[in-house]
Amino acid sequence: MRPTRVRTAALAAATALLAGLAVTPAAHASTDQHRAGSTLAQLAERTGRYFGSAVDNPELSDTSYADLLGKEFDATTPGNGMKWYATEPQRGVFDFTAGDEIVDYAKSKGLKVRGHTLLWHQQLPSWLTSGTWTADELRSILKNHITQVVRHYKGKVFAWDVANEIMNEDGTYRENIFYKTIGPSYIADALRWAHAADPKVKLYLNDYNVEAIGPKSDAYYTLIKQLKADHVPINGFGMQAHLALQYGFPDRLRQNIRRFADLGVDVAITELDIRMVLPSDATKLAQQADWYGKVTDACLNVKRCVGITVWGYSDKHSWIPSVFPGEGAALPWDENLAHKPAYGAIHDALASAAKED
Ligand code: XIL
C-alpha cells in the first residue's frame, strides 16, 4: 500500500471530475486497484475507530447488498428496527423482532451495533401520541420503555442514542410530547434509566444540524456540560451529519467535534449522507467526494471521535429521495453497488490516518 500514490491518483481523478473531464475507465480501475487492499472498516480499525452503515430490515433480503455491507463495514445501526413504534407497538407489549433480526445479521457478519433510538418525537406508536398523560404517567411509560429495551439489548449493542433530536434550530428545547408533559428533566432521567438497565453501554444524545458551531450545537454543549456537572451518565454526542451540497459544508466541524471531546464525551458521526439536487453530475460528485473526505478527516483529527456511520451505503437504499423530493445520490456507492468518487475520498482519508498511527 502506498498512500501517497493513492492520494495522488485520487486527486487527479477528482481534479479531472471537477474540470468536467471524463475520467477514463482505466484511471478508475487503477485507482480502485490501489484501494482494493483494505476495506473502510479495516482502515478505520487501524486508527482505533469503527466504520459503519445503517441497515433497514427489508434490505437484509437484498443479499448482495447485505453481503457487501458485512464485508466493508464493522458496525451497523438499525434504520428503523429499534424505534419505539417497532419495539413497543402496544402499551407494555414489546416486540423485538425487527431489532433482533439486525442484531443476528450483525453477529453473523461480525459487526457491532449502535442502538437507535430510545426516545424521539417521530415514529412513536399512536397509543402513545394519541393518549393524554399526566407527567407521572408519561414518566413511568418512558422509564418502562427505556428499561425494557435497554435490558433486552444489554451486551448486544455498544451504544444507544438515548434521546434523538431534542433541540430546535435556535437552541431551545424541542416541544416533543416528553418536554410538553414532563419538562426538561426527562432528558437526565432517560440517561439515568438507560444506565441503570445496562451500566456498560455508551449513552448518546444525537441530532442533525449540529455539525457546525452555532446555536443548536451550542445548546448541546451547554446541556452536556451541565449533565456532566450533575453526574448524569452521558458518554457521547452523535452528529447525524445529514449534509446537503446546496447548503454548504458545516462551519468549523473539526473545532466543534473537539470542543465536545474536551467536555469528556465521545463524539460519533452517526448518520452521514451528503445529498444533492438531482440529477447528479461529475462536478457534484467530485464536491461530494471532497466533503466525505473532509468529514472523515475531521473525525480522524480528534481522538475521541470514535467512529463514522453512513446512513445506508448505496443510493440503491437511501431514505433521501422519499423525504427530500428531487434530491438524492447521497451515498458513497451508486445504485449498482459500484464505488462513487466519495468512496475513494473516504478510503484515502482513512488510509493516510491509518499509516500515521
Ligand atoms: C429514517 C429512516 O431511514 C427511514 O427509513 C424512516 O422512514 C424515517 O427515519 N434522523 C434519524 C433517523 O435519527 O432515525 C432517520 O431515519 C433519519 C433522520
pLDDT digits (tens, 9 = 90+) for 261-295: 999 999 999 999 999 999 999 999 999 999 999 99
pLDDT band at 2 (very low <50, low <70, confident <90, very high): very low
- Quote the pLDDT of residue 64: 98
Q: Are 313 and 331 in contact (CB under 8 A)?
A: yes
- Quote the pLDDT of residue 37: 85
**Which one of 72, 88, 211, 271 is the catalytic residue?**
271
Task: Provide the grid cell at 322.
Answer: 422519499
SS3 119: strand
- Residue in 69, 7, 10, 73 with CA at minimum distance from that of residue 39: 73
Quote the CA–CA distance of 206 and 163 in Å, as a whole number. 6
Q: What is the pLDDT of residues 3-54, one digit of tens each?
A: 333 344 444 444 444 444 444 444 444 466 667 789 999 999 999 999 999 9
Q: How far is the centre of ligand 1, averaged over its atoms, from the C-alpha of 309 (Å)?
A: 13
What atom in ligand 1 is closest to the CA of residue 242? 18
Q: Which residues line ligand 1 (CB under 6 A)?
A: 56, 79-80, 164, 240, 271, 319
Structural domains present in the chain: 8-356 (3.20.20.80)
The greatest distance separating any two alpha carbons of the chain, rounded to the nearest whole angstrom, comes to 66
Cβ-based neighbour number of residue 64 at 10 Å = 10
DSSP assignment string, 236-288: EEEE--EEEGGG-PPTTHHHHHHHHHHTT-EEEEEEEEEEEESSP-HHHHHHH
Which residue out of 205, 211, 319, 331 has the highest number of ligand 1 atoms within 8 Å of its CB and is therefore the one to mutate?
Answer: 319
pLDDT band at 357 (very low <50, low <70, confident <90, very high): confident
Q: How far is the centre of ligand 1, averaged over its atoms, from the C-alpha of 78 (Å)?
A: 10
* Angle formed at CA 298 by CA 293 and CA 299, multiple of 5 degrees: 100
- Quote the pLDDT of residue 35: 72
Q: Is residue 80 over pLDDT 70?
A: yes
Task: Provide the grid cell at 42.
Answer: 479495516
Q: Is 45 a catalytic site residue?
A: no
Q: Which 8-state DSSP code applies to residue 90?
A: B
245 CB-side CA count, 13 A: 22
Q: Is 165 a catalytic site residue?
A: yes
Q: How far is the centre of ligand 1, averaged over its atoms, from the C-alpha of 79 (Å)?
A: 6
Task: Provide the grid cell at 48.
Answer: 482505533
Q: Are 228 and 292 in contact (CB under 8 A)?
A: no
CB-count exposure of residue 356 (10 Å: 0-12, 13-18, 19+): exposed
